[in-house]
């Protein structure tokens, strides 16, 4: 394997490890749920994405074949992480009376995080 590709793969792994560390640290150290969501959904997603790209490049350059498994994992991860964070945030708003009282008025019969079928 050429030196340049080894440097590229190693740098992607280091970048991924840095983002994974920052995301994990944010999850452990941030004070409340709404701020803790940013650690795993933003930084950790970038970190594991970088690791998976490094793995795809390694198998492409060393093994000579493209690995579809890592590509599918990356697509699944980048699609599900924002959706799960959004659902956790909505559940937190629905459960916390203090959070609901701080939100602006919606103008409809129902509040935030609830479907209004009348469209108002």
Report pLDDT for 51: 94
DSSP string, 14-81: HHHHHHHHHHHHHHHHSSSHHHHTHIIIIIHHHHHHHHHHHHHHHIIIIISS--HHHHHHHHHHHHHH
Record the pTM: 0.73
- Is position 109 within any domain? no
Which DSSP state fits 104?
A: P
- Is position 88 within any domain? yes
- Is position 77 within any domain? yes
- Is position 112 within any domain? no
Domain that holds residue 35: 3-102
- Is position 114 within any domain? no
Q: Which comes out higher in pLDDT, residue 12 or 28? A: 12
Q: With contact defined as beta carbons under 8 Å apart, do 72 and 66 qualify? A: no
- Is position 44 within any domain? yes
pLDDT band at residue 107 under the 50/70/90 scheme: confident
- Is position 11 within any domain? yes
Mean pLDDT over the full length of the chain: 84
**Number of independent structural domains in the chain:** 1
Is residue 13 pLDDT above 90, yes or no? yes
């Amino acid at each position: 394997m050429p030196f340049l590709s080894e440097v590229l793969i190693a740098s992607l792994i280091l970048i991924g490890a840095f983002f994974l560390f920052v995301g994990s640290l944010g999850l452990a150290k941030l004070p409340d749920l709404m701020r803790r969501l940013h650690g795993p959904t933003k930084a950790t997603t970038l970190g594991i994405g970088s690791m998976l790209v490094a793995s795809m490049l390694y198998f492409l350059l060393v093994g000579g074949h493209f690995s579809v498994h890592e590509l599918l994992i990356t697509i699944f991860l980048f699609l599900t992480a924002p959706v799960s964070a959004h659902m956790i945030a909505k559940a937190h708003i629905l459960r916390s009376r203090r959070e609901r009282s701080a939100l602006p008025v919606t103008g409809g019969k129902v509040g935030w995080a609830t479907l209004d079928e009348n469209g108002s």
